[in-house]
Amino acid sequence: MSALARRALAELVGTALLVATVVGSGIAATRLSPDDVGLQLLENSLATGAVLVALIIALQPVSAAFNPVVTLVERWLGVIGWREAAALIAAQMAGGIAGSVLANLMFELPAVTIAAKERTGSGLWLAEVVATAGLLLVIFGAARSGRKDMVAVAVGGYITAAYWFTSSTSFANPAVTVARMFSDTFAGIAPTSVLPFIAMQLIGGALATGLIHLLYPRAERAAAEFTTIEGQTR
Protein backbone atom coordinates (compact mmCIF):
# COMPACT_ATOMS: atom_id res chain seq x y z
CA MET A 1 0.00 0.00 0.00
CA SER A 2 1.34 3.43 -0.95
CA ALA A 3 1.95 6.12 1.65
CA LEU A 4 -0.94 8.21 0.32
CA ALA A 5 -3.30 5.22 0.40
CA ARG A 6 -2.35 4.55 4.03
CA ARG A 7 -2.99 8.17 4.93
CA ALA A 8 -6.35 8.15 3.16
CA LEU A 9 -7.32 4.96 4.97
CA ALA A 10 -6.38 6.51 8.31
CA GLU A 11 -8.50 9.57 7.51
CA LEU A 12 -11.45 7.41 6.47
CA VAL A 13 -11.33 5.22 9.58
CA GLY A 14 -10.64 8.10 11.95
CA THR A 15 -13.43 10.30 10.56
CA ALA A 16 -15.85 7.37 10.60
CA LEU A 17 -15.14 6.69 14.28
CA LEU A 18 -15.34 10.39 15.12
CA VAL A 19 -18.77 10.76 13.50
CA ALA A 20 -19.97 7.46 14.95
CA THR A 21 -19.11 8.88 18.37
CA VAL A 22 -20.78 12.25 17.75
CA VAL A 23 -23.98 10.70 16.42
CA GLY A 24 -23.99 7.59 18.61
CA SER A 25 -23.37 9.44 21.87
CA GLY A 26 -26.13 11.87 20.91
CA ILE A 27 -28.57 9.00 20.47
CA ALA A 28 -27.45 7.40 23.72
CA ALA A 29 -27.76 10.71 25.57
CA THR A 30 -31.35 11.27 24.47
CA ARG A 31 -32.26 7.75 25.56
CA LEU A 32 -30.45 7.88 28.90
CA SER A 33 -31.40 11.47 29.80
CA PRO A 34 -34.63 12.09 27.89
CA ASP A 35 -35.78 15.07 29.97
CA ASP A 36 -32.53 17.02 30.34
CA VAL A 37 -31.12 18.66 27.21
CA GLY A 38 -28.20 20.15 29.12
CA LEU A 39 -27.14 16.74 30.35
CA GLN A 40 -27.54 15.35 26.84
CA LEU A 41 -25.13 17.99 25.51
CA LEU A 42 -22.68 17.30 28.33
CA GLU A 43 -22.66 13.58 27.54
CA ASN A 44 -22.29 14.27 23.82
CA SER A 45 -19.44 16.77 24.30
CA LEU A 46 -17.45 14.59 26.71
CA ALA A 47 -17.67 11.59 24.40
CA THR A 48 -16.57 13.66 21.39
CA GLY A 49 -13.64 15.28 23.18
CA ALA A 50 -12.46 11.94 24.54
CA VAL A 51 -12.60 10.14 21.22
CA LEU A 52 -10.67 12.94 19.52
CA VAL A 53 -7.82 12.54 21.99
CA ALA A 54 -7.78 8.76 21.47
CA LEU A 55 -8.02 8.87 17.67
CA ILE A 56 -5.37 11.56 17.21
CA ILE A 57 -2.92 9.74 19.48
CA ALA A 58 -3.50 6.47 17.63
CA LEU A 59 -3.50 7.77 14.04
CA GLN A 60 -1.27 10.85 14.15
CA PRO A 61 1.80 8.83 13.01
CA VAL A 62 -0.12 8.09 9.78
CA SER A 63 -2.66 10.91 9.34
CA ALA A 64 -5.11 12.44 11.80
CA ALA A 65 -6.78 15.56 10.39
CA PHE A 66 -10.32 14.10 10.11
CA ASN A 67 -11.40 17.49 8.78
CA PRO A 68 -11.36 18.92 5.23
CA VAL A 69 -10.69 22.45 6.52
CA VAL A 70 -7.59 21.23 8.37
CA THR A 71 -6.44 19.50 5.18
CA LEU A 72 -7.07 22.63 3.09
CA VAL A 73 -5.09 24.76 5.53
CA GLU A 74 -2.24 22.24 5.32
CA ARG A 75 -2.39 22.73 1.54
CA TRP A 76 -2.48 26.54 1.81
CA LEU A 77 0.52 26.43 4.13
CA GLY A 78 2.42 24.22 1.68
CA VAL A 79 2.52 21.14 3.91
CA ILE A 80 0.86 18.90 1.28
CA GLY A 81 0.04 19.11 -2.44
CA TRP A 82 -3.34 19.30 -4.16
CA ARG A 83 -3.29 15.59 -5.07
CA GLU A 84 -2.79 14.59 -1.45
CA ALA A 85 -5.40 17.09 -0.26
CA ALA A 86 -8.03 15.81 -2.69
CA ALA A 87 -7.46 12.19 -1.69
CA LEU A 88 -7.59 12.94 2.03
CA ILE A 89 -10.71 15.09 1.77
CA ALA A 90 -12.50 12.42 -0.25
CA ALA A 91 -11.61 9.86 2.42
CA GLN A 92 -12.81 12.16 5.19
CA MET A 93 -16.16 12.75 3.50
CA ALA A 94 -16.71 9.05 2.84
CA GLY A 95 -15.64 8.14 6.37
CA GLY A 96 -17.98 10.69 7.90
CA ILE A 97 -21.02 9.33 6.07
CA ALA A 98 -20.02 5.77 6.97
CA GLY A 99 -19.75 6.79 10.63
CA SER A 100 -23.24 8.23 10.62
CA VAL A 101 -24.64 5.06 9.07
CA LEU A 102 -22.78 2.92 11.64
CA ALA A 103 -24.17 4.94 14.53
CA ASN A 104 -27.71 4.60 13.22
CA LEU A 105 -27.34 0.85 12.82
CA MET A 106 -25.73 0.33 16.24
CA PHE A 107 -28.81 1.87 17.84
CA GLU A 108 -31.16 -0.17 15.63
CA LEU A 109 -32.33 2.78 13.57
CA PRO A 110 -32.62 2.82 9.76
CA ALA A 111 -29.18 3.08 8.17
CA VAL A 112 -30.00 6.52 6.77
CA THR A 113 -32.53 9.01 8.09
CA ILE A 114 -32.35 12.55 6.73
CA ALA A 115 -32.18 15.05 9.58
CA ALA A 116 -35.01 17.54 9.97
CA LYS A 117 -33.36 19.83 12.55
CA GLU A 118 -32.84 23.30 11.09
CA ARG A 119 -29.71 25.06 12.31
CA THR A 120 -29.76 28.54 10.86
CA GLY A 121 -29.31 32.17 11.81
CA SER A 122 -26.53 34.75 12.03
CA GLY A 123 -25.53 33.70 15.55
CA LEU A 124 -24.98 30.07 14.56
CA TRP A 125 -23.10 31.08 11.41
CA LEU A 126 -20.80 33.39 13.37
CA ALA A 127 -20.28 30.58 15.89
CA GLU A 128 -19.06 28.28 13.12
CA VAL A 129 -16.50 30.87 11.99
CA VAL A 130 -15.25 31.24 15.57
CA ALA A 131 -15.29 27.50 16.29
CA THR A 132 -13.36 26.62 13.13
CA ALA A 133 -10.82 29.42 13.40
CA GLY A 134 -10.16 28.52 17.02
CA LEU A 135 -9.74 24.85 16.21
CA LEU A 136 -7.19 25.61 13.51
CA LEU A 137 -5.24 27.92 15.81
CA VAL A 138 -5.12 25.22 18.46
CA ILE A 139 -3.91 22.56 16.00
CA PHE A 140 -1.30 24.58 14.14
CA GLY A 141 -0.30 26.66 17.15
CA ALA A 142 0.57 23.51 19.06
CA ALA A 143 2.34 21.98 16.08
CA ARG A 144 4.31 25.11 15.15
CA SER A 145 5.44 25.77 18.71
CA GLY A 146 7.08 22.37 18.99
CA ARG A 147 4.21 20.68 20.84
CA LYS A 148 2.97 18.13 18.29
CA ASP A 149 2.71 15.59 21.08
CA MET A 150 0.08 17.80 22.73
CA VAL A 151 -2.19 18.26 19.70
CA ALA A 152 -4.49 15.39 20.73
CA VAL A 153 -5.13 16.79 24.20
CA ALA A 154 -5.42 20.35 22.92
CA VAL A 155 -7.96 19.43 20.25
CA GLY A 156 -10.01 17.24 22.57
CA GLY A 157 -10.11 19.97 25.19
CA TYR A 158 -10.97 22.69 22.71
CA ILE A 159 -13.82 20.80 21.08
CA THR A 160 -15.29 19.83 24.45
CA ALA A 161 -15.28 23.50 25.46
CA ALA A 162 -16.52 24.73 22.07
CA TYR A 163 -19.62 22.55 22.36
CA TRP A 164 -20.58 24.92 25.16
CA PHE A 165 -19.24 28.36 24.29
CA THR A 166 -20.51 28.40 20.69
CA SER A 167 -24.22 28.59 19.90
CA SER A 168 -23.78 26.09 17.04
CA THR A 169 -22.18 23.48 19.38
CA SER A 170 -19.05 23.66 17.21
CA PHE A 171 -19.44 21.50 14.13
CA ALA A 172 -16.22 23.11 12.76
CA ASN A 173 -15.81 20.35 10.17
CA PRO A 174 -17.40 19.99 6.70
CA ALA A 175 -17.12 16.18 6.72
CA VAL A 176 -18.87 15.94 10.09
CA THR A 177 -21.47 18.50 8.97
CA VAL A 178 -22.39 16.55 5.84
CA ALA A 179 -22.39 13.25 7.74
CA ARG A 180 -24.73 14.51 10.45
CA MET A 181 -27.29 15.24 7.74
CA PHE A 182 -27.82 11.46 7.44
CA SER A 183 -29.09 10.90 10.98
CA ASP A 184 -32.36 12.42 12.16
CA THR A 185 -31.28 12.31 15.81
CA PHE A 186 -29.84 14.61 18.49
CA ALA A 187 -26.76 15.47 16.41
CA GLY A 188 -28.57 15.88 13.09
CA ILE A 189 -28.60 18.91 10.81
CA ALA A 190 -31.14 19.49 8.05
CA PRO A 191 -29.79 19.49 4.46
CA THR A 192 -30.85 23.13 3.98
CA SER A 193 -28.57 24.17 6.85
CA VAL A 194 -25.47 22.32 5.63
CA LEU A 195 -24.08 24.64 2.94
CA PRO A 196 -24.17 27.83 5.08
CA PHE A 197 -22.38 25.95 7.87
CA ILE A 198 -19.67 24.74 5.48
CA ALA A 199 -19.27 28.24 4.02
CA MET A 200 -18.71 29.65 7.51
CA GLN A 201 -16.23 26.88 8.31
CA LEU A 202 -14.23 27.75 5.20
CA ILE A 203 -14.22 31.42 6.21
CA GLY A 204 -13.00 30.39 9.65
CA GLY A 205 -10.26 28.34 8.03
CA ALA A 206 -9.16 31.27 5.87
CA LEU A 207 -9.06 33.60 8.89
CA ALA A 208 -7.06 31.06 10.86
CA THR A 209 -4.56 30.69 8.00
CA GLY A 210 -3.88 34.43 8.10
CA LEU A 211 -3.49 34.38 11.87
CA ILE A 212 -1.14 31.39 11.70
CA HIS A 213 1.07 33.26 9.22
CA LEU A 214 1.13 36.30 11.50
CA LEU A 215 1.66 34.45 14.77
CA TYR A 216 4.07 31.81 13.46
CA PRO A 217 5.83 33.32 10.40
CA ARG A 218 8.43 30.59 10.63
CA ALA A 219 7.68 27.39 12.46
CA GLU A 220 11.32 26.84 13.45
CA ARG A 221 11.70 30.32 14.92
CA ALA A 222 8.39 30.04 16.78
CA ALA A 223 9.45 26.73 18.29
CA ALA A 224 12.79 28.18 19.39
CA GLU A 225 11.11 31.22 20.96
CA PHE A 226 8.61 28.96 22.75
CA THR A 227 11.44 26.84 24.17
CA THR A 228 13.25 29.96 25.41
CA ILE A 229 10.12 31.29 27.15
CA GLU A 230 9.46 27.93 28.75
CA GLY A 231 13.02 27.81 30.05
CA GLN A 232 12.73 31.29 31.57
CA THR A 233 9.52 30.44 33.44
CA ARG A 234 10.79 27.25 35.10
Q: How many CB atoms lie within 10 A of CB 68?
A: 28
Mean pLDDT of successive 10-residue stretches along the chain, which has 234 residues: 95 98 98 96 98 97 97 93 96 98 98 98 98 97 90 98 97 98 98 98 97 80 39 35
- Condensed to tens digits (0 to 9), the pLDDT of residues 133-143 reads 999 999 999 99
Q: Which residues are CB-neighbours of 159 under 8 A, at least 6 positions away?
A: 45, 48, 49, 52, 135, 170, 172
Say whether pTM exceeds 0.85: yes
